[in-house]
Amino acid sequence: DAGVIQSPRHEVTEMGQEVTLRCKPISGHDYLFWYRQTMMRGLELLIYFNNNVPIDDSGMPEDRFSAKMPNASFSTLKIQPSEPRDSAVYFCASSPLGTDNQPQHFGDGTRLSIL
Amino acid sequence: GQQLNQSPQSMFIQEGEDVSMNCTSSSIFNTWLWYKQDPGEGPVLLIALYKAGELTSNGRLTAQFGITRKDSFLNISASIPSDVGIYFCAGDTGGGNKLTFGTGTQLKVEL
């Protein structure tokens, strides 16, 4: 079975540039989550969607970050303009609808380096 | 905000030994999850716990949901080299799949 697919796996860009990270959730999963992982702060939830609708974006660090989910099989996380402190591994995860607390399944992440 | 503290932060054990790690919270959680992360990959779910006091096994792994709902432990029996990695606990208050992750326990196995 195909898991959560993220692209690109690695991204290196200069500060000020726009960065777009992409995610394809597991087919049939209704929830999609974006996380950021750093050594200092660990895994932090940025935003999550239910049925393509953003439910909680309280973890989005600032207005430079935005996320969209135009359909059930695709989501993007955009940073514009990017800054060196945005360097981190960004994970996408998805989970099925059902009773509360269905476990989340993670992609392999995008390692982002802003120079 | 909520914090999940994991201990130990790292451990270096001999192959074949049993391993124990735990996770404590200042808040109550309705679900506890244990994930393992290998280098360059995303966290992979190991065990999910949904009820206070619940004890669940998955092969050599056993995890328990603390009675107070503020803690959980994970045991690995007879460790093998592929157990190397970082283990994360995660808690959910039940408010819509929003997970809080622990600080992680890095496991290193000596052959």
For the segment A9-32, what is each residue's pLDDT rounded down to a tens digit? 999 999 999 999 999 999 999 899
| A to B CB pairs, distance under 8 Å | 57
Q: What is the pLDDT of residues A32-78, one digit of tens each?
A: 999 999 988 889 999 999 999 999 999 998 899 999 999 999 999 99
Q: What is the pLDDT of residue A1?
A: 64
What band does B98 get if pLDDT is binned at 50, 70 and 90? confident
A55 and B96 within 8 Å at the Cβ level: the answer is yes
Q: What is the pLDDT of residue B2?
A: 57
> Does B72 reach chain A within 8 Å, measured CB to CB?
no
How far is the C-alpha of A94 from the C-alpha of B2, rounded, in Å?
A: 22
Q: How far separated are the first and last CA of chain A, in Å rounded? A: 36
Q: What is the pLDDT of residue A48?
A: 93
Provide the residue type at A107 as one letter. Answer: G
B104 and A42 within 8 Å at the Cβ level: the answer is yes
For B58-81, what is the mean pLDDT?
Answer: 95
Angle, CA A35 vertex, CA A1 and CA A98 arms, to 5°: 55
**What's the mean pLDDT when you consider all of chain A?**
92
H or E element in which residue A24 lies: strand A19-24
How far away is chain A from the Cα of B18, in angstroms, using its nearest Cα?
Answer: 26
B94 and A101 within 8 Å at the Cβ level: the answer is yes
How far is the C-alpha of A90 from the C-alpha of A110, rounded, in Å?
A: 5
B45 and A103 within 8 Å at the Cβ level: the answer is yes
Q: What is the pLDDT of residues A87-111, one digit of tens each?
A: 999 999 998 865 555 688 999 999 9
**What's the mean pLDDT when you consider all of chain B?**
90
What band does B92 get if pLDDT is binned at 50, 70 and 90? confident
Q: How many CA atoms lie within 13 A of A35 on its CB side?
A: 24
Q: What is the pLDDT of residue B94?
A: 67
Task: Collapse the DSSP code of A91 into the 3-class scheme (helix H, G, I; strand E, B; otherwise coil) and give the result.
Answer: strand
Length of chain A: 115
